[in-house]
Amino acid sequence: MKKNYKRNWRFTLKLLAVFGAMLSAGSASAQLSGMYTIDSATARGGTNFQSFEELEDTLDSDGISGVVTIDVLANSGPYDVGSLSLSSLAGFSGANSLTINGNGDTLRGRSNVLEIEDVSNITFNNLVIEKTSGTGNLVIIRDEASNIMFDNCEIISRKSGGFDAYVLIGDNSTDVNTITIQNCKIWNGLSCNKKRRMLE
């Protein structure tokens, strides 16, 4: 009986290619854990996100499985978003947290620049959150959000009127707990001291 070794070799190669594709697809959707960066000048890949939207999309689809720290490369922004939404993300717990170190860079949007809903254990350090136009709020925290901290941040509205609040906490929802805003400046971007409000 004659064996077709050539055919068997091709079948084995195809099988290995299929398994390789399955393994790479699985690793691409792994939950986040560890250190990452946001750098607009570096292409998306590895541990770098090119924008806050890419980070949002990955958190929405994959969630986290450990402590996650995001370092925004200094002077790599500003980062323009319509609205950055961190809502009902998988994996967040007392042990699994997200820290975004802004390094003085700017997250900039038009309406509801940052929305945090039904998620816990997120810290924003040294991030400028700026509203340039539009109605709505700068920051909204609601729907069972808890253990949210803003430290050494600036929250700025350069719009002269027509927006609701700098930081809206609650919005008629229940169980919004432990929201900390410390060492932050909340103001309208003008130089007049009467227009500034320091939270320490």
- DSSP sequence for the chain: ----HHHHHHHHHHHHHHHHHHHHHHHHTPPEEEEEEE-TTS-SBTTEESSHHHHHHHHHHH-EEEEEEEEEPTTS--EE-S-EEEES-TT-SSSS-EEEE-TT-EEEESSS-EEEES-EEEEEES-EEEE-SSSS-SEEEESS-EEEEEES-EEEE---S----SEEEETT-S--EEEEEESEEEE-S-S-GGGEEEE-
What pLDDT was estimated at residue 25?
39
Average pLDDT, the chain: 82
What pLDDT was estimated at residue 23?
42
* 91 in a structural domain: yes
* 26 in a structural domain: no
* 105 in a structural domain: yes
- Average pLDDT, integer, range 77-104: 94
Domain of residue 78 covers 31-199
* 21 in a structural domain: no
- Which residue has tokens 């069972």? 144
Dist. CA 84–CA 140, nearest whole Å: 10
pLDDT tens-place string over residues 125-173: 999 999 887 777 889 999 889 999 999 999 998 766 555 788 888 866 5
| Percent of the chain whose pLDDT exceeds 90 | 58
Q: How far is CA 117 from the centre of its chain?
A: 12
* 83 in a structural domain: yes
What pLDDT was estimated at residue 163?
58
* 65 in a structural domain: yes
* 24 in a structural domain: no
Overall number of domains in the chain:
1
* 25 in a structural domain: no
Phi, psi of 161 (to 5 degrees): -170, 180
> pLDDT confidence of 59, banded at 50, 70, 90?
very high
